[in-house]
Structure 1
Amino acid sequence: MPRYDFRCRDCGDFDGFHPLATVPDAVACPTCAQPARRRPGGGALLHGGTTAMRLLDSTARTASEPAVVAAPPPGARRPVSRNPLHRKLPRN
């Protein structure tokens, strides 16, 4: 759940956790119960170590750091096609 920053005039800054769809412009201060306005800025998404976040990070990383294969794995054989049309293709 995203974390948002709020500022109370008397008590200062504090964090609030709200769903993206229902972020209020003001909440009650947990110390003095006065209205505290949300500070400008984006929410910070927490729990970045989840499986979904690791998958997204590794997928994005492949664009700039692709895995390079120098040679086929040892013991690997060339695939053999059983399609008779493939026999007509040029060989390397």
Structure 2
Amino acid sequence: MPSYSYRCVEGCRFEAIYPMAEVPQETECRDCGAVARRAITAPHLSVADSSAFRLMDGAARSAHEPEVVTSLPSAAGPARRRSVTHNPLHAKLPRS
């Protein structure tokens, strides 16, 4: 939800959060209780670049629109190389 700035006649300033459809033009000041009117302020714009937005959009899209797989990956594809360890403690770890 967006935040809105308010200023009362006494000079107090504060921010309040309202749904866009329910933003009042006047509200009670949280500090002194006087009538506070909504102040016009600059919008809070993001400083993220386009690659950051693509990453955020892709993460959000994959949450509710995952890619559909129609077949198993081919066996001729790139093989995963398993690293060989000689530490005896690693033998106790579960295998995948």
Specify if TM > 0.5: no
* RCO higher in structure (CA 8 A, sep ≥6): 1
Give the TM-score of the pair, scaled to structure 2.
0.43
